[in-house]
Chain A
Amino acid sequence: MSAPENVLEIRNVAVHFQGRAGLFGRSAHTVKAVNGVDLDILKGETVALVGESGCGKSTLSNTIVGLQPPTTGSIRLGEDEVVGATGRALNDIRRKVQMIFQDPALSLDPRFKIGAAIAEPLQVRGIARGKALKQRVSELLVQVGLRYEHADRYPHQLSGGQRQRVVIARALALEPALVVCDEPVSALDVSVRAQILNLLVALQKRTGVSYLFVSHDLAVVRHICDRVVVMYLGRFVEIADRDTFFANPKHPYAKALMAAVPEADPERQRNKEGNKERYILSGELPSPSNIPSGCAFHTRCPLATDICTRDRPELTPRADGALVACHHA
């Protein structure tokens, strides 16, 4: 037994989607959504996964919870290998990892009352019945800041923030070790966002659950996470502890993200203007079916040189512990 304990170990995971074959029998292009990533998550830790639309965040999330088989690689949850698991083994694994999606409206069946939605995973696994089930549902509702009376409502009778609480209650029903949160607050209003973030933090303190928290909002990420992973076109380009990352992001893409996120403070935001100029990226994210050679970021990178177009930089450790994949950072 080695402390501290990993709840998740990902090794060399790739997820490629086969595109349809082109006209005249030309070879199909492959979408390399996730392209060989390694990651450990500790018990009780929150790791944030950030990056632009299409970089592979949701694909990796789906793969971790077993909704999307990887093309290669291994995913271990505690003692269990997720990849290739079937039947009972898969069922057991699914209990340990849960997912919260961006849009609470889409993750709740409009025909089921809230109470039934939360009870379902408990019933399916025969964990609780009758009075005990009712009791557990009630506990879960209270845990996420709702009341037992909410059990009798339908999703459409709740606000967006309340619905997301229900989704969280449902995810927690089986006491998972890891909850993958894919943009859990992006669809919510600012005032409601704070409630859900507070709730996620409080639940972690109480239960020791780990989170993989997917987000593009760096202010939220800084608030909630212990470690940051930056993804670009299917690969990790920087991994660092929160304070290290926010004090000194190193990969030019990480710097560009940081410069691009507007801060809710006119003084600071306008002061960083001069600084920002250098890091406003030109161009847009290339297609994951046609990933640039060498460093995939070289087409937009202000530091790129010849070597960047040829050799792909590996993640290498820096003095402060950050892992960075860049020839020049």
Chain B
Amino acid sequence: MGEETTPLLTVDNLTIEIAGANVVDGVSFTVARGEVLALVGESGCGKSLTSYAMLGLLPPAARRIAGRILLEGTDLAAMSERQLRKARGKDISIIFQEPSASLDPLTTVGSQIASAFRQHHAVSGTEAFARARDMLVAVGIPDADHRLHQYPFELSGGMCQRIMIAIALICGPRVLVADEPTTALDVTIQAQILDLMKQLVATSGTSIVFITHDMGVVADIADHVAVMYAGRIAEIAPVRDLFARPAHPYTALLLASVPRLDITPKANLATIEGSVPFPNEFGYGCRFASRCPLATDRCRAEQPPLFEQGGGHRSACWHINRVHELKENAA
């Protein structure tokens, strides 16, 4: 069917400038209905800015200088603040990186969830509270009637994160942007939250843009993966393809640097020498060139476009056919 191929969300050439540098530079990706796209990359590569831009919530220092955010054809980036407020929560929701910073410490969690519902629904307080209670049950918080009347400080980190998810989902958004929703949690609690999110995708068809830097989490939850490096998409691929056949040197080295079952303990892990360039050092070529073992003069001079590898696997590298050498060296 023709309609099946229209993505629910399209981010097209998103470019964000801070202090004269494009800290997010020409980022494009699409997310289908009910799909999880993982956005990965090291600290400072622009994951959070990309996610804020999707909801029109950029910090004052940052300016979107190009790009469209199409939700079923409607450009969120072209909306007024008033229109955006209507869209947030109902069409697209976000869970922020720091849960403690985004819950109001002086309001009970029940009121916070209920008021998120009333943003978009003209219902009585009682009705909204009933919805909030249902939502607490849905996100797996036991003893909901009691919890509704508690304050954030009375709940554990894992429960606060569930409250955030409840707030983000109560108006049934089509897209959920989750910025490192489990990074601060223990692994057993992380496993609960990941299962909850998978269940939500399966039952409601919500699409998720899931930001993380944990390759294990990516392997667990993602359908597609976009790897960012220094503000650009380095590689984007279906999850199994990315792990089995990385087509960008950065991805290949990143995967080889993670300790795995099939590596002899205490053997040397692959490393990426050097560090991520600062925005004022970006230059004209491939932003990975200063650390890339395959880099040539062309890499330093000319920015590689995203080359299609087939099956939706794309990589921005001039030497894709040599990437396998890195994998072999590391093993």
Contacts and interface: CB of A to CB of B under 8 A. Distances in A.
21 contacts: A52-B188, A162-B275, A190-B254, A191-B42, A193-B257, A194-B258, A194-B270, A219-B258, A222-B265, A223-B263, A224-B266, A262-B214, A262-B216, A263-B260, A264-B255, A264-B260, A269-B220, A276-B191, A281-B192, A284-B156, A284-B189
B209 to A, nearest CB: 18
B187 A257 contact: yes
Interface string B181-208: 0000011111110110000000000000
A161 B291 CA distance: 15
Interface in A116-169: 159-162
A291 interface: no
B42 A280 contact: no
Nearest to A54: B186
A224 B194 CA distance: 27
Contacts of B157: 53
A191 B186 contact: no
A256 interface: yes
Interface string B258-302: 111101011011111001000000000000000000000000000
A28 interface: no
Interface string A178-208: 0000000000011111110110010000000
Given A161-B275, A194-B271, A269-B220, A260 B188 contact: yes
Interface in A304-322: none
A285 B271 contact: no
Interface of B: 42-43, 142, 156-159, 186-192, 194-195, 213-220, 239-240, 243, 253-255, 257-261, 263, 265-266, 268-272, 275
Contacts of A270: 219-220
Given A191-B254, A195-B271, 4 more contacts: A190-B213, A192-B275, A201-B268, A257-B187
The A contact surface, by secondary structure, is helix
Interface of A: 52-53, 159-162, 189-195, 197-198, 201, 216, 218-220, 222-225, 242, 256-257, 259-270, 276, 280-285
* Nearest 10 interchain pairs by C-beta: A262-B216, A223-B259, A194-B257, A260-B191, A194-B269, A264-B215, A191-B272, A189-B42, A262-B220, A260-B187
Contacts of A225: 265
Contact of B259 (A161, A220, A256, A280): A220
Contacts of B259: 194, 197, 219-220, 222-224
Contacts, number: 126
Contacts of B261: 222, 263, 265, 268
Given A190-B213, A223-B259, A198 B188 contact: no
Contacts of B159: 284
Nearest to A263: B216
B195 A216 contact: no
A201 B218 CA distance: 28
A216 B219 contact: no
Given A195-B271, A198-B269, A262 B217 contact: yes
A263 B194 CA distance: 13
A248 B158 CA distance: 28
Contacts of B260: 219, 263-265
A270 B188 CA distance: 17
B106 to A, nearest CB: 22
A264 B254 CA distance: 11
A39 to B, nearest CB: 21
Nearest to B275: A159
A256 B253 CA distance: 30
Contacts of B270: 194
A37 to B, nearest CB: 20
Instruction: Pick the most buried of B43, B156, B187: most chain A CB atoms within 10 A of its CB.
Output: B187
A233 to B, nearest CB: 13
Contacts of B254: 190-191
Contact of A224 (B213, B239, B265): B265
Given A224-B265, A224-B266, A261 B187 contact: yes
A139 B215 CA distance: 35
A61 to B, nearest CB: 18
Nearest to B156: A284
A201 to B, nearest CB: 5
A189 B265 contact: no
A268 B142 CA distance: 31
A282 B142 CA distance: 10
A266 B240 CA distance: 6
B165 to A, nearest CB: 16
Contact of A263 (B219, B263, B268): B219
A223 B271 CA distance: 15
A58 to B, nearest CB: 14
Instruction: Pick the most buried of A222, A264, A281: most chain B CB atoms within 10 A of its CB.
Output: A264
Contacts of B239: 266
A267 B240 contact: yes
Contacts of A282: 192
Contact of B265 (A242, A259, A263, A264): A242
A259 B275 CA distance: 33
Given A256-B188, A257-B187, A262-B214, A191 B158 contact: no
A190 B257 contact: yes
B43 A189 contact: yes
Instruction: Pick the most buried of B159, B263, B269, B270: most chain A CB atoms within 10 A of its CB.
Output: B269
Nearest to B262: A265
Given A190-B42, A267-B240, A281-B188, A197 B220 contact: no
